Amino acid sequence: MAIIISGKEVSANVRAEVKAACEQLRTKGITPGLAVIIVGDDPASRVYVNNKKKACADVGFVSEEYALPAETTQEELLALIDTLNRKPEINGILCQLPLPKHLDEKAVINAISPLKDVDAFHPSNVGRIMIGDYHFLPCTPAGVMELIHSAGIDVSGKSCVVIGRSNIVGKPMAMLLLHENGTVTICHSRTRNLKELCSSADILVAAVGRPKFVKADMVKEGAVVLDVGINRDENGKLCGDVDFAEVEPKASYITPVPGGVGPMTIAMLMKNTLKAAMLQNGID
Q: Which residues are catalytic?
A: 52, 96, 119
CB of 197 to ligand NDP, least distance (A): 10
Looking at residue 186, the DSSP 8-state letter turns out to be E
CB of 262 to ligand NDP, least distance (A): 4
Give residues in contact with ligand NDP (CB under 6 A): 140, 163-166, 168-170, 187-191, 194, 207-210, 228-231, 261-262, 265
Give Dmax (Cα) for the chain.
Answer: 56
Residues forming beta bridges with residue 282, ordered by sequence position: none
Distances (CA, A) of 22 to 16, 52, 206, 243, 277: 10, 16, 33, 39, 10
Q: Which is nearer to ligand NDP, 113 or 140 (CB)?
A: 140
Q: DSSP H helical segments within 60-138, as ranges?
A: 74-86, 105-111, 123-131
Neighbours of 271 (CB within 10 A): 23
Strand, helix or coil for residue 176: helix
CB-based contacts of 1: which residues, under 8 Å, 6+ apart?
248, 249
Cβ proximity to ligand NDP, 228 vs 276, nearer residue: 228
Nearer to ligand NDP, 53 or 165 (CB): 165
CB of 48 to ligand NDP, least distance (A): 9
Q: Which is nearer to ligand NDP, 62 or 97 (CB)?
A: 97
Which residues lie across from 34 on neighbouring strands?
Answer: 63, 92
Closer Cβ to ligand NDP, 94 or 278, answer by number: 94
Contact 214, 241 (CB under 8 A): yes
Element (H, E) at 169: none
Cα–Cα dist 158/180, whole Å: 10
Eight-class DSSP state of 257? S
CB atoms under 10 Å from CB of 23, counted, come to: 11
Phi, psi of 142 (to 5 degrees): -65, -35
* Residue of this chain nearest to ligand NDP (CB atom): 166
- Pairing of β 224-227 and β 3-4: unpaired
> 86 or 192, CB closer to ligand NDP?
192
H or E segment to which residue 7 belongs: helix 7-27
